[in-house]
Amino acid sequence: MRLNMRFTLKTTAIVSAAALLAGFGPPPRAAELPPGRLATTEDYFAQQAKQAVTPDVMAQLAYMNYIDFISPFYSRGCSFEAWELKHTPQRVIKYSIAFYAYGLASVALIDPKLRALAGHDLDIAVSKMKCKRVWGDWEEDGFGTDPIEKENIMYKGHLNLMYGLYQLVTGSRRYEAEHAHLTRIIHDEIAANPFAGIVCEPDNYFVQCNSVAYLSLWVYDRLHGTDYRAATRAWLDFIQKDLIDPERGAFYLSYHPESGAVKPWISAYTTAWTLAMVHGMDPAFSERYYPRFKQTFVEVYDEGRKARVRETAGTDDADGGVGLASAFTLLLAREMGDQQLFDQLLNHLEPPAKPSIVSASLRYEHPGSLLFDELLFLAKVHAGFGALLRMPPPAAKLAGK
């Protein structure tokens, strides 16, 4: 499934006094940052070395946790008031929860003092992901009443990766049986298909959704010493042969196995998302295509201070289609360690959203997409998918879990 709506309403994050963290001083002078930027690129990239998140990241964590009943990670229950306030369409909630979760895993890696909170939030994220409010579109569309039995990799790939990251971060076995069951479903379905991977809706194959599923197999192997990741080689060979334009370093929009049709348009957000996740499994694959991807899609402007991303070829429009090309490229730049492009993209993305702190609340007056704060949070803290796979175990496992 492709995201197909844009979002231009207000979202709010609450800043606590703890946001004034030590270790980032002196704070950047106003002259060093464009109006609307909240921290320097250097500080985002230094978080893991300093073992402390930046103040604006702490503000995002407060938004995710602070307000009773309303914050996204208030409780395990199937309440979705946070997403209702953001007017998030039902079909998009799964992606919102998942990208928050991937950012939380990096927070756990950055700051040992926040690892317990990150694990707590990941627990809630997994629990909410299983609510019918999240996956009910599968049944509504007439595809079945079980969202993990077959197909639907756009949902179950994220759920499986979240199961694994929760256990990596916490050491808890709370979801271990469910994780094992879903991993076998995914692996066996991949093995049974005449193509490498799993469709989202019936006959709709998207490479980015499959990147999540394959990465989830690597996390399971890390936890349990299995070798499900061996299936990855055939998948990379398949997408390299049939689903990528090698000259432009970009994946095609989608593949439809029943007819063999490949939609001929290339997609920047699809490519950025996929290359970021593949880099955690096969760095050389992503590094091969990254320079061509940038040449095809990235437009640097404002005398080199900013960059924006075209969603497809043959247009000068930035962030067309689903409106997520620049945000996913921000994540890819962070994954690739490309500080210059990260800085240029954040200069393009964040100031127009008009962040402001009022009564200790960080507000984006004009968030640029349906997943604006989720993807900026993830990109700002992202430690790298390979680094998450190598995450050391927690100092102490949760008692009785």
CA dihedral over 43, 49, 54, 59, signed as positive or negative: positive
> Global pTM?
0.92
In the residue annotation, 203 being an active-site residue is answered as: no
According to DSSP, the residues that pair with 310 across neighbouring strands are 318
**Pick from 145, 147, 168, 142: which is nearest to 157 by CA?**
147
What's the burial of 356, exposed, middle or buried (CB within 10 Å: 0-12/13-18/19+)? exposed
pLDDT at 139 over 70: yes
pLDDT at 363: 76
pLDDT at 397 over 90: no
DSSP letter, residue 268: H
pLDDT at 13: 37
pLDDT band for position 320 (cuts 50, 70, 90): confident
For the chain, state the CA radius of gyration. 20
- Provide the CATH topology of domain 11-389: Glycosyltransferase (1.50.10)
Q: Could you give the dihedral angle defined by the CA atoms of residues 309, 310, 316 and 317, in that order, rounded to the nearest 10 degrees?
A: -90
Q: What is the pLDDT of residues 351-394, one digit of tens each?
A: 999 987 765 557 788 999 999 999 999 999 999 999 999 999 99
pLDDT band for position 396 (cuts 50, 70, 90): low
Average pLDDT of the segment spanning 181-210: 99
Amino acid, single-letter form, for residue 337 = G
Amino acid, single-letter form, for residue 225 = G
The position carrying tokens 């938004």 is 63
Contact (CB, 8 A) for 391 and 117? no
Q: What is the pLDDT of residues 244-267, one digit of tens each?
A: 999 999 999 999 999 999 999 999
pLDDT at 398 over 70: no
Count CB neighbours of 180 within 10 A. 15
pLDDT band for position 179 (cuts 50, 70, 90): very high
Active-site option among 68, 111, 188, 302: 68
How many percent of the chain have pLDDT more than 90?
84
